[in-house]
Amino acid sequence: MAKVTVDGIAVEVPDGCNTLQACEAAGVEVPRFCYHERLSIAGNCRMCSVENAKYPGRLVTACVTPVRDGMEILTDTPAVKAARHGMLEFLLINHPLDCPICDQGGECDLQDEAVAYGRDYSRFSESKRAVREKDFGPLVGTAMTRCIQCTRCVRFCAEIAGVPELGAFGRGEAMEIDTYVNHPLSSELSGNLADICPVGALTAKPYAFVARSWELRKTDSTDVFDAVGTSIRVDSRGPEVLRVVPRLNEDVNEEWLADKGRFAIDGLKRRRLDICWVRRNGKLERATWPEAAAAIEARISRLDGSRIGAVAGDLVDVETMLALKDLLASYGSVNLDCRQDGAAVDASRRDFYLFNPTIAGIEQADAVLVVGANPRREAPVLNARIRKRWMKSNLPVGVIGPEADLTYPSQAIGSGPETLAALLDGRGDFAEVLKKAERPLIIVGQGALARPDGTAVLAACWKLAAACGALTPEWHGFAMLHTAAARVGALDIGFLPKPGAKGLPEMLHGGVDLLWLLGADEFDVGAIGKDTFVVYQGSHGDRAAARADVILPQAAYTEQDGTYVNTEGRVQRARAAVQPPGEAREGWKILRGISAYVQKPLPYDDAAAVRERLAAANAVFARYGVLERGGCADQAGPAAAGALNGAPFVPPIANYYQTDPISRASPTMAECARVHAPQPAPVAE
Amino acid sequence: MAKNDPAAVGAVQPEHFAFDAESEAKLAVILKRYPPGRQASAVMPLLDLAQRQMHRTTGSGWLPLAAMDVVADRLQMPKVRVYEVAKFYSMMILQPIGRYHLQICTGTSCWLRGSDRVAEVCKKVAGIENFGETSADGMFTLSGVECLGACVNAPVLKVNDDYYEDLDAESTEKVLEALKHGEHPKPGPVNGRQASAPEGGPIALASLTFDKAE
């Protein structure tokens, strides 16, 4: 530890920490542009100059200067003030004065710092630099004339996103940021460039000229487009969600957000179900809530519980699933399924289906085996954490499954279960790596489980984890990577067929007479029996709604309070930012209303009562946000059945940008899919 | 000059580039200079090598994207990092260029000693009007550069790797005409002066005579 004083405030900071961090520790604000705590240090904006009392009048750049014991830092001297004036004057020489039409206006570092540390006049009367417009693809908007060459974006791409596509070309005043050569950014984290850019040079393209930051109402929420459960802030104005930005959450997403979570929100305004529909004489017709409820009652009251089934989709909140489970239970039905992909699962113990080491825990792993997953596509933010671990020191990563660029070096060790069996026998180089590792991490993707021998693969993965020492009282290295935000919550409340009850495959082809779909669109809708009465409760008119006999319009995740459990098992809440459109209602309220209509009223009337019921169903719902990482107490594995077959693992996500009803309704995501799905042809090679 | 115009990149790019045997031999020597794992340090010599190969084989010493990609692959570094280096240094030419790159010093010393006239002659012989242009026959590309570090021999014209010094209109024309005819005039001062020694001697201290001190 080094003892330093900053403007007379004594602080103790770790050795090797830089002067800027010492100033922050003392609570003294130092302006900066290029320095970012999660990126490497460039030291090129010179804005953080401070003075060392030992050498009066000589400025030191705080971000690149390590602290020394006994150092006296001054940030408020005339020399420092003059330096800040000077730096801002230089930066503003070539910065256009277009703040009134700039998307960054109101939340711009340069604007703020010019007000706080700059002069109120300019001495520059020559003509300003202008930079040719760039095209970074459908998500990142560019106005490179505003660029102040801090190179944060270049470092972000190279270090965090792991896709070194941006570079600083040319030199001096002519330096420009561009891609190599004119092709769109291929990262799933590219939206974060708009956040780290300290000026308005890189902005969110779909948000261009949409709103000013001070007009927005900000609602803290949770992302539902993957199972990471990224903390987000939903910015809305009136009835519209205008943008989504990440919130700081060191345990989950640090400060990043994947592109789908950020940009699929324009799907919330399209293809919405805002009124009830009932099929009469083979045609869907508009209906009122009582008419829809009556149509359901006419059917459901004649049925035996075993002929009723329900399937929950990937974006559904736990409250709604629990209400539907309770409603079906009152008819004696336990035909429930939350696995549209048919993934094998053993819900008898929570650690059989969780990402046990936790996302932050990835940083302690010293070897990673990925089985049937592509974390880059399935959970980009989680993948960034693996990359962060790899950046720290070399991390052996083995992949069983389709080869993919994960943004860090990985070793393809096989394509299917036979490689898993080989590792279990201790054959192959990677078996040695796993054995030597102190904290091996085995990531099991849905691509390994959504297949006929899924149960056997799951058991084999657990066995492998036990064999290579991943399951100890200190470390739990069995990590299941889910793709659906609703999945873990559904498993926690037991939205699964009990033994003997029907799962999704049995409900299809006439297995049930009434099928209740909760936003479930990701299975083959054509396989539903011809005479099955389908109730579709959801927010978007997607595949399944077209097949439905009754459509109940539900609020989307930005329009209702809802609980989600991420792949780690962290219970989090999404909050209502805007009103649902038209007649749409909150999910559990719809079910509460229907239950009253069919005279089997559910025993809760308000959100608090639902939460109480939730906590009674599973104690994990009593605590929000927090998660304790534990070791593995019991090495006994999930139930095994059947034998492994030889078929290679198939990735569960073929097209990252369109995986659910909201993103399929989003024009921005459609454009991304168009640009990225067929790999862009190599330019002039 | 227009060589750093990104819009033009890709317009005339060849599809493929590969180091030939002559370059490969030099490349092996260059790579040995750097410790294992630090091969990326060789990016500048390799880019230069590629550019020289282009000059040798096509008569136009420039760096196509394909060549930068080959260098990136060789050194196992991201392509964009190689492109950054190439764009930074004006010695890396990213567009086709004439067989002889005429770089005329427009710095103060050369200007005082008549670089304007040298430039005029260059334009006249090459048949071009401005700096940055290439003659119709692809023989000359003219650039104005700042100090070439040979002020003592001003005005200076750099032709590819060679300096022609102490020029005037007449001698410039002679040099360029010789180049046009495939000759290679002797580089250095064109007025018979030895290196940067005083014109007309003395050329060595030994030839000086000094009055004995009283």
Instruction: Give the tens place of pLDDT for each residue, B58-104.
Output: 999 999 999 999 999 999 999 999 999 999 998 999 999 999 999 99
The residues on A that touch B, with CB distances below 8 Å, are 132, 158, 164-171, 174, 176, 178-182, 683-685
Domain spans, chain B: 6-88, 100-189
Interface check B84 vs A, CB under 8 A: yes
Nearest partner of A663 among A265, A213, A238, A78, judged by Cα? A265
| Interval B176-205 mean pLDDT | 88
Q: Is B15 on the interface with A (CB under 8 A)?
A: yes
Specify the long-range contacts of residues A40-45, CB closer than 8 Å, at least 24 apart: A40/A155, A40/A159, A42/A150, A42/A151, A42/A152, A42/A155, A44/A149, A44/A150, A44/A151, A45/A87, A45/A91, A45/A148, A45/A150
Hey, are the CB atoms on A684 and B4 less than 8 Å from each other? no
- Check residue A204 and give its pLDDT: 96
Give the C-alpha distances (Å, rounded to integers) separating A373 from A150, A404, A442, A549. Answer: 36, 10, 11, 36
What is the Cα–Cα distance from A54 to A60, expressed in whole angstroms? 11
- Under-70 pLDDT residues of chain A: 678-685
Decide which of 3.10.20.740, 3.40.50.300, 3.40.605.10, 3.30.559.10 is the CATH code for A2-76. 3.10.20.740
For B6-88, the fitting CATH number among 1.10.1040.10, 3.40.50.300, 3.40.50.2300, 1.10.10.1590 is: 1.10.10.1590
- A132, A144, A179, A180: best to mutate for the B interface, most B CBs within 10 A: A180
Residue A488, pLDDT score: 96
Question: Could you read off the pLDDT of B154-165 as tens digits, one per residue?
Answer: 999 999 999 999
**Pairing between β-strand A514-518 and β-strand A478-481 as defined by DSSP bridges:** unpaired
Using a CB–CB cutoff of 8 Å, tell me whether B83 touches chain A: yes
Inter-chain residue contact B9 with A181, CB threshold 8 Å:
yes
Q: Which tokens go with A71? A: 């150092």
Instruction: Please indicate whether, in this complex, the C-beta atoms of B80 and A180 are within 8 angstroms of each other.
Output: yes
Does the domain at B100-189 match CATH 1.10.3720.10? Answer given as no
Give the pair of three-digit tokens for residue A412: 């393809």
- Of A135, A203, A154, A133, which Cα lies nearest the Cα of A683? A135
User: What gap in Å lies between CA A356 and CA A466, rounded to an integer?
Assistant: 14
- The domain made up of A358-483 has a fold known as Dimethylsulfoxide Reductase; domain 2 (3.40.228)
CA distance B11 to chain A (A): 9
Residue B4 has pLDDT above 90, yes or no: no
Length of chain A counted residue by residue: 685
Contacts of B69 in chain A (CB under 8 A): 685
Instruction: Tell if the CB–CB gap between A169 and B10 is shorter than 8 Å.
Output: no
Q: ω before B45 within 30° of 0 (cis)?
A: no
Question: Which of B13, B16, B84 faces A168 most closely, judged by CB atoms?
Answer: B84
Task: Give the span between the Cα atoms of A680 and A137, in whole angstroms.
Answer: 11
What is the mean predicted confidence (pLDDT) over B105-121? 95
Residue A13 has which token pair? Answer: 């900071």
Q: What is the dihedral of CA A412, A416, A422, A426, to 10 degrees?
A: 50
Q: Mind giving me the DSSP string for A101-167?
A: G-TTTTS-HHHHHHHHHS-SS----SPPP--------SSEEE-GGG-----HHHHIIIIII----EE
Task: List for chain A the helix, strand, coil content (%; round to 5).
Answer: 30, 20, 50
Instruction: Return the domain boundaries, chain A.
Output: 2-76, 278-345+504-622, 358-483
Instruction: Pick B65's closest partner by Cβ from A169, A178, A684.
Output: A684
Give the pLDDT confidence score for residue B214 in this predicted structure: 58
Label residue B11 by pLDDT band (50, 70, 90).
Answer: low
Residue pair A660/A648 in contact (Cβ under 8 Å)? The answer is: no
**Distance spanning both ends of chain B, measured CA to CA:** 61
Provide the pLDDT for residue A676: 86
Which strand ranges, in their side-by-side order, compose the sheet holding A240-246? A217-222, A231-237, A240-246
Structure tokens given for B129: 């009007």
| B contacts of A170 (beta carbons < 8 Å) | 4, 87-88
Read off the pTM. 0.92
In the prediction, which pLDDT does A441 show? Answer: 96
φ and ψ at residue B83, rounded to 5 degrees: -65, -40
Confirm if B69 and B50 have CB atoms less than 8 A apart: no
What's residue B2's pLDDT? 41
The SS3 assignment for A168 reads strand
